[in-house]
Amino acid sequence: MSKEQVLTNARIVLEDSILDGSVLIRDGKIADISEGTVASGEDFEGDYLIPGLIELHTDHLEAHYSPRPGVRWLKIAAIQAHDAQVVTSGITTVFDCLRLGSDEDGGFQKGEMRSMADALAQAKEEGRLRADHLIHLRCEVSTSDVLEHYEDFQNDPQVKLVSLMDHAPGQRQFQTMDQYTLYYKAKRGFSDEEFARFVERQQALSAKYAGPHRTALAEACAARGITIASHDDATIDHVEESIGFGIKLAEFPTSFEAAEASHRAGLSVLMGAPNIVRGKSHSGNIAARDLAERGVLDVLSSDYVPFSLIHAPFVLSDELDAVDLPKAIAMVTSTPARTVGLDDRGRIGVGLRADIARVHRKEGIPVVRSVWREGRRVA
């Protein structure tokens, strides 16, 4: 016997409009969308009914696993804590970032992220998780051991996204030394001499490894059909390289030039939702809302604050005439879904997964009241 439920008196956020109406869910999928209110069903009291958010890039699991320098938390417990915060932010599909490649900035030892992926699989199997968790490998191409770390994931079907990163000074995110000095010298308490040696080592590693490792990882992902993301592209040359590698997602471009070139080439340009909420980048790069005003912002990511993913679309639709609420919500639902090939979710549409959220908002910060994943209430 099929299971049905009706959600009514809702402001349903579709891809290009908002419909005052009702949604019928049958066997975990959206079976019907209709205008108007029906007598039976759960009354949304005029709250928004939106697709469950899709998070492509979050470092939040890492923060739960390693909450203090040198501290490692129990993996299953860390995963459950992360999952709870994600779901109550309206996120129903999350790509958990696992960092590959160990360096002087900390990193993780070989096998550590493989163990985390195994814990994720175990948590899924045991029914501990409310969101759908997939894996995003953040590969630091300038480290000597990134390919060795990647070998641990060669046959893992959970891996759906890989980003190619180089955080060496003078590259991409840190094109100038001002922000790099602020970020690393102060963070690590280096003297001038120690910092100069650190910079020299990082630049040498990048020069030796970044190019060949970027190529090797891109080829490995292409062979497996894994979506590839660039990271911190700053120049037209970076964008052209990304196009050559078949990259579909441009994460956190650091210049207007790179963002606009990526968007024109059909790459989805991703920026941080905290950047929208704060009105600026934490690392001193371009402001995401400026990209939205230019029409070249496609995807938002919560990055390090899960709740920012539901907060930022309302900020954009409030403050920018060019971005209405359906367009802003698409940046956290349908566009990220399409970018990584998830064609069964990310929209309110008949036949799609009933991954949805009830959001109350008249003004100010939105409230996530309820969340469903495949028709099952999870928050």
3-state secondary structure 287-342: CHHHHHHHCCCCEEECECCCCHHHHHHHHHHHHCCCCCHHHHHHCCCHHHHHHCCC
Predicted confidence at residue 196, as pLDDT, reads 78
Summarised one tens digit per residue, pLDDT across range 244-286 is 999 999 999 989 999 999 999 999 999 999 999 998 665 556 8
Query: Residue 315: CB partners within 8 Å, gap ≥ 6?
Result: 276, 277, 289
List the structure tokens of 373: 């994943």
Q: What is the mean pLDDT of residues 299-312?
A: 96
Domains of the chain: 52-344 (3.20.20.140)
Is 90 exceeded by the pLDDT of residue 179?
no
Is 70 exceeded by the pLDDT of residue 180?
no
Top-confidence residue, 376 or 111: 376
Mean pLDDT of the chain: 92
Predicted confidence at residue 176, as pLDDT, reads 55
Task: Give the containing element (helix H, strand E) for 124.
Answer: helix 112-125
Share of the chain above pLDDT 90, in %: 78
Rounded Cα distance between 27 and 156, Å, is 29
pLDDT confidence band for 321 (50 / 70 / 90):
very high
- If one counts every other C-beta atom within 10 angstroms of the C-beta of residue 63, the result is 14
Predicted confidence at residue 173, as pLDDT, reads 52
Q: What is the mean pLDDT of residues 12-23?
A: 97
242 vs 86, 318, 333, CA distance in Å? 30, 33, 24
Q: At what angle do helices 75-87 and 112-125 cross, to 10 degrees?
A: 60
Summarised one tens digit per residue, pLDDT across range 81-101 is 999 999 999 999 999 999 999
Top-confidence residue, 325 or 167: 325
Predicted confidence at residue 110, as pLDDT, reads 82
